[in-house]
């Protein structure tokens, strides 16, 4: 499992970022969040490995990409606490025997297991950025012998895994319907998009506001329907993600080399989006409080 390296109190990047943390930021100023998110990522560049590892652990998506022929596509992705190459890739549809295998008992178990692993990585990634945004950087800020990443997994892992399993369950519930009756996609996909929109912020709320799963779910649904930063972040990411999706969707159809390049290019994007999302939800929490 990827983990952040032990924190160095003499790291000049940490000192600079502490200044960034103390800098006054307006909740309605996206430019200040962009700068701050970049400073957080500069402090822990190794965290870009987390989206890369999560991308390679998604065996089903990886197999679909490697089996696909030349082509491309576009997708309009909602934000995620752990964006991977598959967040921005338009994969070919799975039909026939491949679909049957994917949604058999073994396939469902693999999807749920993958969601659980992704939840652990997501908790560590978001929790580390949240701790860095609080100015925690020295070894004394975390229990002895534990990095911020491992501490974040221990603190937020279970509810974030539950959030991942909930979202995976939504997909597993509707995809068989579409496979049996493809025309149902006209109704099902808009419903899935709305549900996904309502749930995308759940891991962020769990970590930023230190809530349990049930409390965070209620809070997330409230934010999703109240306007402000929640829909703004979603709309911005959908549009920017579509632009990223165009080249990525072509690259992942280029065999092992294409997938490798796509993973390498999207890993820092995913880590940056996670850091930016943490700041969005921190600003939202501060505004409400």
Q: What is the pLDDT of residues 149-201, one digit of tens each?
A: 999 999 999 999 999 999 999 888 887 777 777 787 788 889 999 999 999 99
> Can you give the pLDDT at residue 91?
86
Residue 6 lies in a domain: no
pLDDT band at residue 231 using 50, 70 and 90 as cut-offs: very high
Cα distance between residue 270 and residue 147, in whole Å: 21
Name the percent of the chain lying above pLDDT 70: 80
Would residue 5 count as lying in a domain? no
Average pLDDT, the chain: 84
Q: Look at residue 113 and give its three-state secondary structure.
A: helix
Are 280 and 229 in contact, with CB atoms under 8 Å apart? yes
- Distances 115 to 91, 181, 210, 287 between C-alpha atoms, Å: 18, 26, 21, 32
Q: Provide the percentage of residues in the chain whose pLDDT is more than 90.
A: 61
| Residue 1 belongs to a domain | no
Query: What is the residue range of 117's domain?
Result: 13-288
190 within a domain of the structure (yes/no): yes
pLDDT level of residue 248 (50, 70, 90 thresholds): very high
Record the tokens describing residue 4, joined without a space.
């952040």
Residue 86 near residue 59, CB atoms below 8 Å: no
List, for residues 36-65, the tens digit of each pLDDT value: 999 999 999 999 999 999 999 988 888 888
Angle at 200 between CA 194 and CA 205, to 5 degrees: 135
Q: Please provide the size of the chain in residues.
A: 289
Residue 69 has pLDDT above 60, yes or no: yes
Extract the tokens encoding 232.
């703004």
Q: Is residue 124 part of a domain?
A: yes
Distance CA 173, CA 88 (A): 22
Q: Count how many domains the chain has.
A: 1
Domain-located, residue 2: no
Task: Return phi, psi of residue 125, to 5°.
Answer: -65, -55
The yes-or-no verdict on residue 25 having pLDDT over 50 is no
* Dist. CA 258–CA 256, nearest whole Å: 6
Distance between CA atoms of 75 and 71, rounded to whole angstroms? 14
Residue 96 clears pLDDT 70, i.e. is over it: no
Is 4 domain-assigned? no
**90 lies in some domain:** yes
Spatial separation of the C-alpha atoms in residues 100 and 139, rounded to whole Å: 50
CA distances in angstroms from 120 to 46, 47, 150, 162, listed in the order given:
17, 14, 10, 10
């Amino acid at each position: 499992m990827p983990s952040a390296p032990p924190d160095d109190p003499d790291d000049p990047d940490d000192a600079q970022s502490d200044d960034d943390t103390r800098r006054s930021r307006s909740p309605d100023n996206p430019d200040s969040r962009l700068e701050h998110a970049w400073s957080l990522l500069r402090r822990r560049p190794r965290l870009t490995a987390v989206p890369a590892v999560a991308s390679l652990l998604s065996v089903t998506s990886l197999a679909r990409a490697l089996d696909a022929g030349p082509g491309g596509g576009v997708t309009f992705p909602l934000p995620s606490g752990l964006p991977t190459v598959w967040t921005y890739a338009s994969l070919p549809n799975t039909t026939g025997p491949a679909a049957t295998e994917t949604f058999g008992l073994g396939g469902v178990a693999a999807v749920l297991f993958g969601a659980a692993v992704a939840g652990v990585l997501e908790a560590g990634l978001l929790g580390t950025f949240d701790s860095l945004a609080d100015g925690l950087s020295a070894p004394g800020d975390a229990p002895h012998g534990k990095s911020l990443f491992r501490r974040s997994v221990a603190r937020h892992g279970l509810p974030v895994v539950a959030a991942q399993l909930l979202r995976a369950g939504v997909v597993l519930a509707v995809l068989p319907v579409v496979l049996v009756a493809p025309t149902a996609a006209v109704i099902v996909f808009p419903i899935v998009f709305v549900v996904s929109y309502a749930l995308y912020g759940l891991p962020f709320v769990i970590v930023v506001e230190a809530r349990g799963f049930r409390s965070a779910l209620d809070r997330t649904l409230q934010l999703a329907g109240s306007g402000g930063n929640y829909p703004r972040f979603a709309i911005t990411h959908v549009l920017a993600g579509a632009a990223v999706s165009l080249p990525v969707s072509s690259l992942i159809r280029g065999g092992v080399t294409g997938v490798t390049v796509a993973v390498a290019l999207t890993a820092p994007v995913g880590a940056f989006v996670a850091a930016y999302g943490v700041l969005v939800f921190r600003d939202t929490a501060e505004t409400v409080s």
